[in-house]
Amino acid sequence: MPPLTPPETDAGLARRLAAHAGELLLRVRSAHGHGDPAALKAAGDRASHDLLLAELATHCPDDAVLSEEDKDSRVVGSVDAGGRLTADRVWIIDPLDGTREFSEEGRSDWAVHVALWARTASTPHRLVAGAVGLPAQHRVLGTDHPPAYPPMTLEAATSGGGRTIRLAASRSRPPVFLTDLADDVGAHLVPMGSAGAKIAAVVTGEVDAYVHAGGQYEWDSAAPVAVATAAGFHASRVDGSPLTYNQADPRLPDLLVCRQELAAPLLAALARQLSGAAAPGSGVPSTGGVPSTGKDTR
């Protein structure tokens, strides 16, 4: 009699779903080509969303799901769409993080996010499993096998002033406050695409930190934060308060993910930047960290 196969863990399922959705997105990308970016974005979003929902319905039929592509995902009100606010387990997914990069030929800085929130978890963020698929990079980062905490690079450890911090930044529109922050801490900006790709770059040691304060939602950061914290990195709001998920309002507009040894100096620098928020035209977000539009400028 063959040995029994152990049941799949939540973290293992997250990894498998992120991998499968990524494989599907690569096929969609190949089949559609890049001649019509809008159509390619729409096709990728829908195909990955449908696959993830079907798999979760099969394997976790009693769990709730919060997906960027659900029509009510951004609705804030008395109606608890899908019962997620009272559920004990909620999968938070972004079927295609970085549609712009996905639609551009040759770009690999886009991702698939799959995370699980559990009411009984002891951590403030309550994320108990997560995986970030980087399909065009042919890798998946997951909480089942968290990446090893990378050593500080020689450049960062020996440069003038103690270190040159590498900050992941939007490749097309880095916010003014981030440029000012980089000047404050002696950092340089490293342009790249999606939020998931940026946090993955922190986890793998390609950059040292990712700071965002332009407006995001829970699905933009849940899976990457789960992986980053499992690997030993710092993750918080830009004012140092905890990141929380499965909230009635899914907007989670700002965050800091960085090496543990950089958390204190970056939070201190952010406090200095945030203290100037009242100055007209400063480009610095208020302590709440998000413009009223909730627009994601990644």
Convert the pLDDT of each residue in 92-124 to its tens digit: 999 999 999 999 999 999 999 999 999 999 999
- For residue range 40-95, list pLDDT tens digits in order: 999 999 999 999 999 999 999 999 999 999 877 777 765 666 689 999 999 999 99
Share of the chain above pLDDT 90, in %: 72
- Residue 134 pLDDT more than 80? yes
Q: What is the pTM of this model?
A: 0.88
Task: Give the integer Cα–Cα distance in Å for 64 and 44.
Answer: 23
Q: Which DSSP string do the residues of 44-89 spell out, in sequence order?
A: HHHHHHHHHHHHHHHH-TTSEEEETTSTTTT--SS--GGGTTT-SE
Q: What is the pLDDT of residues 1-15, one digit of tens each?
A: 666 667 889 999 999
170 falls in which pLDDT band (50, 70, 90)? confident
Residue 157 has pLDDT above 70, yes or no: no
Is residue 250 very low, low, confident or very high in pLDDT (cuts 50, 70, 90)? very high
* Residue 199 three-state SS: helix
